[in-house]
Amino acid sequence: MRTVLPRLRHRPWTAAFLAAFSAVGLLLSALVAAPASSAAAAGCRVDYTVNQWTGGYTAAIKVTNLGDAISGWRLAWSYAGDQKVTSSWNATVTQNDRTVTATGSGWNANLGTGASAEFGLQGSYQSANPTPTAFTLNGVACNGAVTPTDPGTPTTPPPTTPPPTTPPPTTPPPGGGCGGAKLCDGFETQSGTAPSGDWKFEAPDCQGTGTVAVDSSVAHAGSKSIRVDGKAGYCNHAFLSYTKDLSTVGPQMYIKMWVRHTTALPAAHVSFVSMPDSSQGGKTLRIGGQNSALQWNREIDDATLPAQSPNGVAQSKPLPTGSWQCLKFKIDTSNGNLDTWLNDQQVPGLHADGVPTGDIDQQWLSRTTAPRPTGLRLGWESYGVGDDTLWFDDVAVSSSDIPC
């Protein structure tokens, strides 16, 4: 015989109590599991260093994050004068009236606590160039103090990747960083006055009294450059030579540098860039000046670009003195075409495209073998008269264009 047990039934108030108890339990669990909120710390410091001449200037800017790590930085300031930004490097810089905004460029966009990003800009002015004094980083005043911010309304986007444990590099040259450049050096890692590491002093054919040294008093960006005291006299060579092979760069080879020199280019032939060229059996492809204007020169046959006629020289440009200039060269190692830019402006007389142009490339096209540079030297080579003091900074060699 089967015994039927009575079915137990919850009274309505019992069910309501159990439901309420469960809800309270879940709430307590959530409160225990949730971490205590804490305000994020924000703060920064800005070092703004100006190199000025009549009507123009460059500024080397270093922003240091004193607060919590940030992903994506935006530095803003306002000019009190009539300054106009014309170019920048290592950051994207825009200007709206007097307000200037700079944002990180990929490799230097994340700033850990204590990390710095360095970038630079070039500009012009008409009446005054006062140094700005008030900066903000992602909306927070850069006054050297650290203040908490509301974690519910962050001033920067939350990082999508862990912040770097070490500060990002700060030595790439200007013009948007280095990308995949074979050579990219602002000489910030040089110690002492004698070039070291990937660079060495060299007098390729004969040595005179010229010198090459690391300079910590003059720089385009950062705190160091290379100073060359070039001396007159035939075969007076003094060069900073890159020790690594550049023969794999191509088929298009871009060479970019910032150079500052003291004395106007002379009437006699001088060179300040020399590239060993395998197509010339190791003789050099040279960049320098003659008749007071920039020119290319080929050592094997002494051909020049442009031709040294009055009309040819008029198609080139002098190299301005007393200020930093961005020089950029393009060599097509497949067909021998050349291009040259001074501050991102193409120089017509230093352009060779294989099509004969009167007073420009008559000598140059006499040789059809395309150049194949294997190295890079920066310095001074005089063939008679012409002392000069030069500085080189932020040098890059790449298979793709890097703007000034």
Distance of alpha carbon 337 from alpha carbon 347, whole angstroms: 14
Handedness of CA 91, 44, 143, 136 (dihedral sign): positive
Tokens matching residue 121:
């800009």
| Residues 129 and 187 placed together within one structural domain of the fold | no
pLDDT of res. 147: 66
pLDDT at residue 232 in the model: 86
Q: What is the share, in percent, of the chain residues with pLDDT greater than 90?
A: 60
Number of domains in the chain: 2
Residue 348's pLDDT is what?
A: 93
Could you say which of 132, 149, 166 is where a domain stops?
A: 149
Q: What is d(CA 269, CA 283) in angstroms, rounded to the nearest whole number?
A: 17
195, 185 contact by CB (below 8 A): no
Note the pLDDT of residue 179. Answer: 63
pLDDT at 369: 93
Q: State which amino acid sits at residue 322.
A: G
> Which token pair is 13?
């108030």
Q: Who's near 53: CB < 8 A, 6+ residues apart?
A: 322, 323
Please answer whether residues 59 and 121 qualify as being in contact, where contact means their C-beta atoms are separated by less than 8 angstroms: yes
Q: Is residue 172 part of a domain?
A: no
- Average pLDDT of the residues of the chain: 82
CA dist 314 and 308 (Å) reads: 9
pTM for the model = 0.59
| Distance (Å, whole) CA 226 – CA 378 | 9
- Give the CATH number, domain containing residue 291: 2.60.120.200
**How far apart are the C-alpha atoms of 286 and 181, rounded to whole Å?**
21
Instruction: Give the helix ranges, DSSP H, for 47-192.
Output: none
d(CA 331, CA 329): 7
pLDDT in tens, 177-197: 566 789 999 999 999 999 999
Give the residue, 28 or 41, on which the prediction is more confident: 41
Are the C-beta atoms of 88 and 59 separated by less than 8 Å?
no
Q: Supply the range of the domain harboring residue 372.
A: 183-398
> Rounded to whole angstroms, how far apart are CA atoms 380 and 86?
29
Higher pLDDT pick, 15 / 294: 294
**Residue-level pLDDT at 11:** 39
Does 307 reside within a domain?
A: yes
Q: For residue 117, give the CATH number of its domain.
A: 2.60.40.290
Q: Which residue has the higher pLDDT, 73 or 88?
A: 73
Burial of 201 (0-12, 13-18, 19+ CB in 10 A): middle
- Please report, as a single letter, which amino acid is at residue 228: V
Strand partners, 227: 213, 391
Is the pLDDT at 113 greater than 80? The verdict is yes
pLDDT band at 207 (very low <50, low <70, confident <90, very high): confident
By the 10 Å C-beta count (0-12 exposed, 13-18 middle, 19+ buried), 96 is classed as exposed
Q: Give the DSSP letter of residue 302.
A: T
Q: Are residues 331 and 276 in the same domain?
A: yes
Residue located via tokens 């019992």: 14
Return the top range by mean pLDDT from 8-12, 51-55, 232-236, 251-255.
251-255
**Interior/surface letters 15-36, b for 16+ CB within 10 angstroms, e for the rest:** eeeeeeeeeeeeeeeeeeeeee
CA 354 to CA 227: how far, in whole Å?
A: 36
- Report pLDDT digits (tens) over 361-398: 988 999 989 999 999 999 999 877 778 999 999 999 99
Position 67 pLDDT exceeds 50: yes
Q: Which segment of 34-48, 158-172, 336-350 scores lowest on mean pLDDT?
A: 158-172
DSSP 35-69: PPP-PEEEEEEEEEEEEEETTEEEEEEEEEE-SS-
Say if residue 249 is in the same domain as residue 294: yes
Lowest mean pLDDT among 122-131, 160-169, 270-279: 160-169
pLDDT of residue 2: 41
Q: Which residues contact 194 (CB under 8 A, 6 or more apart)?
A: 201, 213, 214
Choose one of 134, 149, 164: the last residue of a domain.
149
pLDDT band at 8 (very low <50, low <70, confident <90, very high): very low
Per-residue pLDDT at 148? 61
Longest dimension (CA), the chain: 129
Q: Do 137 and 228 reside in the same domain of the chain?
A: no
Q: The tokens of 151 are what?
A: 């974690």
Q: Is residue 244 part of a domain?
A: yes
Q: Which two tokens stand for residue 239?
A: 């060069």
Same-domain pairing of 315 and 252: yes
CA dist 179 and 171 (Å) reads 13
129 with 209, same domain: the answer is no
Q: Is the pLDDT of residue 12 over 60?
A: no
Q: 246 with 110, same domain?
A: no
Does residue 161 form part of some domain?
A: no
